[in-house]
Structure formats: structure tokens, C-alpha cells
Structure 1
Amino acid sequence: MKILKVNATAITTEGAPQMLENHRSEWTAEDKKKTNLDNIAKDILYKTLDKNIFAKIKTCSTSKEIWEKLTQLCEGNDQTKENKLTVAIQKFYNANMKLGESLAEFDEQFSAIIIEMTSLGKECFKCKI
């Protein structure tokens, strides 16, 4: 993890201060605490991942990078989310109760479609009470 400090002698072209890496010997107690929390977060993430996913995130150096990579892997980009939503909407319109299927089984299938659509940002029903 890199702890940054402001370089008082230089300013970037955008007017923002230039940042330099703060060496470990110059870390404050707060910097050490942040690093420790990052290590704890990485440890928790590592312990919850299977070998396949771990192989995809092992090059990340901070817990924030790991989380962003996991989000990208699991949720995908905007195009992927849009494709998943299109498929879920098609499932919704094509949902039919199959011969021999109980109402409870159909309800479970239909509820799963609604949950999937809702998780992708599609509001399915508005309740007015």
C-alpha cells in the first residue's frame, strides 16, 4: 500500500498538488492504522474466494483494487449489465407454468426472475397502498 504526501515544491498542470510516495519511515500512526486495516480487508477477501477467482485478483495490491476487480468480474461493465437485464426481461415475458409444475415451483421461478431484474436496476412493480 502506498501512503502519499503532497509535494509542496511542484504543482501539476491542472493546478492540483503533485503527490509523492511517503516512505515507511515517515508514516504516522494514522498511516500505519490505514495500512493495517487494508491488510485485514485483503485477508478477509482472500479467505472468501475460491482458487479460480483468487487467480484473477492476486496481482491487486490493495483491498480497494481487489474489490473493484471483483465488482468488474461479477457484475461486469455497463454493456454486460444491459445484456443481463435484456435476458432477464425475456425470461419474464416467456415465463410459463409447465405441465406438472406446482404453483410453489412456478412462484419460486418467477420470484427469481423478479429478483434478478431488480438487482440489475429494473423496477418491476410499484405498489400503491
Structure 2
Amino acid sequence: MKILKVNTAAITTEGAPQMVEMHRSEWTAEDKKKANVDNIAKNILYKTFDKNMFAKIKTCTTAKEIWEKLTQLCKGNDQTKENKLIVAIQKFDNAKMKPGETLAEFDERFSSIIIEHISLGKEYSNREIDLKFMRAFPREWDVENLAMRESKELNKLELHDLFADLKAYEF
């Protein structure tokens, strides 16, 4: 953490004061509190990383630098974002309930795909999500799917409500 002070020994021609780093012995109680908050934030961030991610941010000196590095690493550039979105759309399009997979397991997997889309800026209507969710079931669910499509208004039905109704059919 760098605490800065005005350098009174140097005068700039632009009129703006020159800043220099303040030595720790000169810190006020407020400066010490700021430095401690930064240390607490860094500690919280460090505890969330695996060894691989820690190796990428260990050279950062402040919590702000760590956060900026994480943003750069996780978001990537525009091409990376586009590639992530393409892969996410493929996951959505190819989502199918696996043989032996329970409804709860499929719901969890499907919901994570939807969350990934939202985080990448792609959103679907309730109807699109519900129809895709129901199309992903094996043939033995056809009767339940048809009943749900006929009895519910899919434009207003949230995925979790659809899941609850289908869970009742599963029992």
C-alpha cells in the first residue's frame, strides 16, 4: 500500500503538486487504517484462489491491482468473450438429459448453462428457456411435456416453477 504526500522540495511548472511516497513512520492513524483495509481485502482474495490463479496474481501489491488483474484474466478481450459465448450457445443448443440423470441433476446442469449465458450478456425469454428445457428430456417424458405445454403459459413460467411442476410428475 502506497500512501502519498506532496513533495514540498520540488516545484512543477504545470502548477500541480508532485507526489512522493510517504514513509511508514510518517503514517497517521487514518493512513494505517487504510493500509489495513487493503491487507484485509488482499487476504480475502488470496483465500479464494487455487494455486494456479494465485501464481497469476502474486506479483500484485494492492487489492485494487489484484481485482484489475482478475478482471483482465476472467473477462478476456472481445474475441475471448465471443468465443465463450459461442461455446455457451452450443452447450444450450445441445443440452439433453443424460440416461440415468435425475431431474434435479439435469436442472442444476441446465441452470448453470443459463447462468453462463446471462454472465456473457445473452438472455433468453422464459418461453425459450422452458421449451428448450422440455425438449431436452428423453422420449418417456413426452406425455408430461405435452401436458405442461397445454396447461401452462410458458411466457410467464419461470424455470424453477417448471422444474417444481415436473418434479411432481417425476414422483
Short-chain TM bin: 0.7 to 0.9
Give the alignment's Cα RMSD to 1 decimal. 2.9
Number of the residue aligned with 2:118: 118
Number of the residue aligned with 1:22: 22
- Structure-to-structure mapping, 1:20-59, within 5 angstroms: 20-59=20-59
Name the structure where helix makes up a greater proportion of residues: 2
- Structure-to-structure mapping, 1:1-129, within 5 angstroms: 1-7=1-7, 9-10=11-12, 17-98=17-98, 103-125=103-125
Deviates more, 1:51-60 or 1:75-84: 75-84
Compared CA separation, residues 10 and 23, structure 1 to 2 (3 A): farther
Once residues 125 and 11 of structure 1 are traced to their aligned partners in structure 2, the CA distance between those partners, rounded to angstroms, is 59
Deviations 1:11-30 (A, max 9, x none): 65xx7654322232332221
Q: Give the TM-score of the pair, scaled to structure 1.
A: 0.74
Name the structure where strand makes up a greater proportion of residues: 1
Deviations 1:18-62 (A, max 9, x none): 432223233222111111111122222223322222222111111
Deviates more, 1:32-41 or 1:98-107: 98-107
Q: Secondary structure at the match of 1:10?
A: coil
Task: Give 1:2 deviation, angstroms.
Answer: 0.9
- Residue ranges of structure 2 left out of the alignment (5+ in a row): 127-154, 158-171
Task: Give 1:7 deviation, angstroms.
Answer: 4.6
Once residues 37 and 55 of structure 1 are traced to their aligned partners in structure 2, the CA distance between those partners, rounded to angstroms, is 23
Q: What is the one-letter code of the residue matched to 2:74?
A: C
The structure whose Rg is larger is 2
Once residues 11 and 18 of structure 1 are traced to their aligned partners in structure 2, the CA distance between those partners, rounded to angstroms, is 10
Task: Give 1:84 deviation, angstroms.
Answer: 0.8
Q: Give the TM-score of the pair, scaled to structure 2.
A: 0.59
Aligned sequence identity (%)? 77
